[in-house]
Amino acid sequence: MYKKTTLKNGLRIITIPQKSTQAVTALVLVGTGSKYETKENNGISHFLEHMYFKGTKKRPTPLAVVETLDKIGGIYNAFTGEEYTGYFAKVAVSYTELALDWISDIYLNSLLPKKEIKKERGVIIEEINMYYDHPMFYIGILWNQLIYGDQPAGRPLFGTKENIIKMTQQELLNYMKNQYVASNTIVCLAGKIKEKEAISKVKKYFSKISTKKSKAKPSVIEKQNKPQILLQPKKTDQAHLALGVRAYNLFHPQKFAQEILGVILGGMMSSRLFIEVREKLGIAYYIKTNIDSNPDTGHLTTQAGVDNKNVERAISVILREYRKISQKRIPAKELKKAKEYIKGKTALELESSDAQAAFYAGQELLENKILTSEEIFKKIDKVSINDILKVAKDIFQPQKLNLALIGPFKDKEKFEKLLKL
């Protein structure tokens, strides 16, 4: 069972003891990401994440930072999202103290050296090039751009090359000072730990964290009254598409029904779209339906890669399945299968300490409350056939449809004619 401790300065500590492991994960989450940025500093959250591996007073070089955990076979990394930035270290239990020392050092004491900023610009620009050259990633960027446009939710989390080239040390320092503060930070320890001892050590290592108030993110504007299309003309052998609808955020009472709906449509190898598009028609290697629910946004999206000549056919089949599930109740056995799939997959994923840390800390950061897996499973079990139909009827409406497409296409009108339910 987890325990949440909130210190007087606002820092939240989550401890999750696990007896059946010899590992410990230290995860630090800060509530800032690309949705907190402006057009001018878009990409700063991700840039700052990179710079946290470039040196502290105690570990003055990038080599000194990474070698600390390499010497003990530790697993470590960082990540940036729309709502958060995270840093973690997973180590054998005997190195718990070292993991806390290391992660608190980079989180609180990173120097952001100018010479490293200059070099890291090149690294991030190559990362951007990689994403834009990889259609499976790029289609997700286009999807956000399509539905949210020129606001933080619609911009790429790694920013633009122009922003990266001109970003300064002072900008990074100011952003860090404004966002990386106690009330905006969660420190999570999961694995083979003693609870009281773990809390005491976190207090010790994070005692110097700033107590400033963090800046809030701007509100997302949701606006759509007709189907929308974004074409990215590109000479390719395979077209990549994202087709879906605006849907529910994390606080919607039907979010669990929405999750099950996504699994039924395209979340597993026996899902409707996988069977129809891959198994029966043989026109796609990958096809999947994702549910993306955040505190202020939500959408259901099906992505697929198909031969250019099969794009219209794939779109028609996906829309047919959207229409079908919003008009006819699903069989009881299909609902049960989807529920058991979610519960079984979740149980398997939560075997490791790093997954436990992300599961609990992520909920706390995004929702400001935590449900155990057992509590979540009970909510999933309560979802009915009528709930699935109700959600499908609500979200699958013509005016909510969106299509992003990468491939050798320029005729928008041809695709507009297809977007009907």
The catalytic residues are 49
Measuring CA to CA, which residue among 387, 281, 247 is closest to residue 272?
A: 281
How are the residues of the chain apportioned to helix, strand and coil, as percentages rounded to the nearest 5? 50, 20, 30
Exposure string over 311-334, b if 16+ CB within 10 A, otherwise e: beebbebbbebbeebbeeebeeeb
Q: Give yes or no for a contact between 151 and 218, defined as CB atoms under 8 angstroms apart.
A: yes
Between CA 231 and CA 242 the distance in angstroms is: 11
Between CA 361 and CA 344 the distance in angstroms is: 21
Between CA 29 and CA 99 the distance in angstroms is: 15
Can you give the three-state secondary structure of 37-97, one letter per residue?
A: CCCCCCCHHHHHHHHCCCCECCCCCHHHHHHHHHCCCCEEEEEECCCCEEEEEEEEHHHHH
Between CA 272 and CA 258 the distance in angstroms is: 15
The values of phi and psi at residue 300, to 5°, are: -115, 125
